[in-house]
Structure 1
Amino acid sequence: MPSCTGCKVWRVQGISRCPRSPYPSHSGAAPSSTTTAPTLAARADQSLAGLAPGYFARVMVTGIVSVGVRTAGADGAALVMLVLGVLIAAVLAVLYIARWIRHRDRMRRDAKSPESAFGYFTVVAACSVLAVGLQAEGFGTVSVVLLGIGAAIWIGLGYGLPWQVLMTRDGEPILARSNGSWFVRSVASGPGRGPAAVLG
């Protein structure tokens, strides 16, 4: 990068100005007017860092639709929705693992935030709804594995997360920052969606 050392400095209206820069006199390198655009990898990493805890709601609602249309007798449509839900869950699982590896502090902050923490309960509901659908398709072993994952996460989040949120001391009132996502805990525990649904 060019330097002002030894260059001819113009004086415009009493202000020293370097011909290499539109800015007033400076020392060292001339400021650059170009901005480097973030790379694709950098943009992907930024998106990963901002991945919200509640994205498993996509899996949850897809699985619920699958169970609903199966109840109505549309087994083919139910299978399509179930496969779609499994694929979405697989992609999200990879993304959340990658986020834990690269942006662990962000995930911990989300788990303490009243605005976002309860979104993690969508993982429980997603596991349970997929387990119901897979059991109906004859995949009993996979269904039980998902049931175990959902139950383990529910136990950890159900007792640890609310306490962690309520004990957060960041200078702002907790209840004033509550929102509808707090009801996801009830959704993840309710009949037909919680871990007990698979056994029912």
Structure 2
Amino acid sequence: MDRPCEVKDLVEDLRGNGGGIDPLAFELKSIMYGYGRLGLFHDLQRVVDQMKRGGFEIDTVCTNMVLSTFSTHGEHMEIVSWLKKMRSSGISFSVRTYNSISNSCPIITRMMAGLNELPLLIEELNVRLEGGEAIVVKELLDSCVILEEVMVWDSSEAKLDLHGCHLGSSYLIMLLWLKEMRRRRRKVEKKKESDF
């Protein structure tokens, strides 16, 4: 309800002088998300630190909530920082991660509205992006781990599951998929050449 300060005070009242009710991860995530929605990022980080001290896991859901708030406010460098934290901590990326980040990309959003002249190579897209958006997309696409979740590739089929993806996310994942298809094709061609 965008009233995280009141909720924080209520939680502190419930906690009392050490003998009361301690908040669970759900309550802390809700407070954190409320601060983020209002752009109170220092308070958001304070709650994240409190969660860590309390032994709560900073998981994919939590980081997606943080990314969503940074995305809403166009805080590209904060998004990049959190993506790097996710990678170094082994926190998995999800479709929601891609959705949250693609929502912060106005150039990609405008390109999706036209759908006529979309770059089909990551390198071509990078040329058209600017500033923080370019840095965010590069960091996201360098983390190709989403393909493990959405791609099936075996001897009988190759398919991509884009259920739950926003249009911008679908586009970015398709670029990764095309890149992976080209990589695998080159690998097969090299193997054929070495067999001769």
TM bucket normalised to smaller: 0.3 to 0.5
Task: Kindly name which structure, 1 or 2, has the bigger radius of gyration based on alpha carbons.
Answer: 1
Larger RCO (alpha carbons 8 Å, 6+ apart): 1
TM-score by length of 2: 0.33
Relative to the length of structure 1, the TM-score reads: 0.32
